[in-house]
Amino acid sequence: MELDYKLIGKRIAGRRKQLGLKQNAVEEKAGIGYKYLSSIERGFSIPSTEVIMRLAVALDTTPDEFLVGSARYEDEQWRSVAEQLRGMNEKQLIFANKFLLWLKEQEL
- Predicted pLDDT of residue 72: 54
Whether the per-residue pLDDT at 15 is higher than 90: the answer is: yes
Phi, psi of 95 (to 5 degrees): -65, -45
Q: What is the spatial distance between Cα 90 and Cα 104, in angstroms, rounded to a whole number?
A: 21
Q: What is the spatial distance between Cα 64 and Cα 57, in angstroms, rounded to a whole number?
A: 12
pTM (predicted TM-score): 0.65
Q: What is the spatial distance between Cα 28 and Cα 78, in angstroms, rounded to a whole number?
A: 23
- Torsion (CA) 65, 61, 15, 88 in degrees, nearest 10: -110
Q: What is the spatial distance between Cα 39 and Cα 74, in angstroms, rounded to a whole number?
A: 30
Whether the per-residue pLDDT at 26 is higher than 60: the answer is: yes
Q: How confident is the model at residue 35 (pLDDT cuts 50, 70, 90)?
A: very high
Q: What is the pLDDT of residues 44-99, one digit of tens each?
A: 999 998 999 999 999 998 888 898 887 655 566 777 777 788 788 889 988 988 88
CATH numeric code, 5-105: 1.10.260.40
